[in-house]
A and B are shown apart, each in its own frame.
Chain A
Amino acid sequence: MSDDDTIDPADRGKLTAAEYVLGVLGGEERREVKRRLAHEPALASEVAFWEERLGVLADAVAPVAPPQHTWSLIEDAIPAAEAARPTSLWQSLAFWRGFGIAAATLAAASIAALAYIGLVPATRAPLMATLAGSSGQPNFVAAVTATGNSLVVVPAALLTNDPRAIELWLILPGPNQRPRSLGLIQPGQPIRLTIPPDLAGHLTPDAALAVSLEPPGGSPTGLPTGPVIASGKLTSL
């Protein structure tokens, strides 16, 4: 880029993100930006700015129906991709600490969750879920009491001081189900939540739980508005 010396060097850095998003860089320069993106949050946020702002230019492109078979090829490709899930908010934002003690804390959290719900004699087996980030890192363990009307959530990893609230959602099976809020949980301590009566019957092994980051006080819309940082299916013990 030394061939254009009329541009202020201070602006050059900003330009890199814009040029990358616009798509004018050659193969080697693109790879260089991609490498830097992994460890330069300022560059990544500049890239996000341009992606969001320039993205509307795609409105000028006419939609074209892809061939019918494309979907089945995607569906076939998913399990393999899932096994290798490499990217994650956890790694990219260094969101959590203590990766190395994950297994031990997961075990401890599981025991704590079981202790909290108590070994109440019941006809129904308790349900548990390990809520993991997209890298597979377990972050919370949740257990539903045998009576089915409350839920204990125990952190299995240590959160940094993020000012955002952490909200727990019930994801029911089926194509038209919206996530239903189960309430706010705490990053640093176990919490017991009462399950709203209209949802109590829906915590079954088909359902999943998810955790998202929300503005203080929780999602203002009744749906997750921030990134989903952990999720997992309920399983019967």
Chain B
Amino acid sequence: MRSQLAAALARVAGGDRAALRIVYQDTCAKLFGVCLRILKDRSEAEDVLQDVYVTVWRKAATFDPGRASPITWMVAIARNRAIDRLRMRTAGGRLEPIEAADAVSDPAPAAVERVELAQQHQRLTRCLEELDARHASAIREAFLDGATYEDLAARMNVPLGTMKSWIRRGLLKLRACLER
């Protein structure tokens, strides 16, 4: 049986506001953490978070539990919005450290989903381990920070072409490994 979260999303698709509240309570800390990590600015992350749940409200009917887990579907929406916002910043955007934030416990997803996510995580980790360590770490950083090729090249102190080549080769190998 799928998780409560998938069931709540099905009800959100039917226009049930109470169900959206359940979805929010279960996922807001995770998604706020994701937005904050990318934007490194609490007030911008708050704006994006609101936008994320309005998007979830509108798009719940397109969520297909047979193809995606509810939490990765929502993480994808949050990252997408946060990265769009990040790209809208003018050049020379801020890169301040994250202010002290209250970490909270992660609400536990339903058992079945937890097992599935753990399996997926294990699989991805195994595939990342097959890559050159620098390629794998560039991929992780890009995902978590929403950093562009230019940002990553500067951070890791390599030419832009080298960074592109690392990530592209890494992604192609990863694709092949994940499909095995």
Contact = CB atoms under 8 A, between A and B. Distances in A.
Nearest to A212: B10
Interface in A68-124: 70-71, 73-75, 77-78, 81-82, 85-89, 92
B68 A73 contact: no
Contacts of A149: none
Interface string B63-76: 11111110111011
Nearest to A86: B58
B94 interface: no
Given A77-B54, A92-B62, A23 B79 contact: yes
A171 B171 contact: no
A178 B11 CA distance: 9
Contacts of A19: 167-168, 171
A89 B7 contact: no
Contacts of A9: none
A179 interface: yes
B148 A221 contact: no
Interface in B121-180: 121, 124, 139-140, 142-150, 152, 160-161, 164-165, 167-169, 171-172, 174-175, 178
Contacts of B71: 55
B1 A223 contact: yes
Contacts of A4: 161, 164-165, 168
Chain A at the B interface: mostly helix, strand, loop or mixed? Answer: mixed
B148 A134 contact: no
Contacts, number: 237
B143 A89 contact: no
A78 B147 CA distance: 31
A134 B62 contact: yes
B13 A231 contact: yes
Contacts of A134: 13, 58-62
B148 A55 contact: no
Contacts of B64: 226-227
Contacts of A226: 64-66
B139 to A, nearest CB: 7
B102 A56 contact: no
22 contacts: A3-B160, A4-B164, A18-B171, A23-B79, A24-B147, A24-B152, A26-B150, A48-B68, A61-B33, A63-B33, A63-B103, A64-B102, A65-B101, A66-B45, A71-B28, A74-B24, A82-B57, A171-B14, A223-B7, A225-B65, A226-B64, A228-B14
Given A61-B33, A65-B102, A82-B58, 7 more contacts: A7-B169, A22-B139, A60-B144, A70-B50, A87-B58, A223-B6, A224-B65
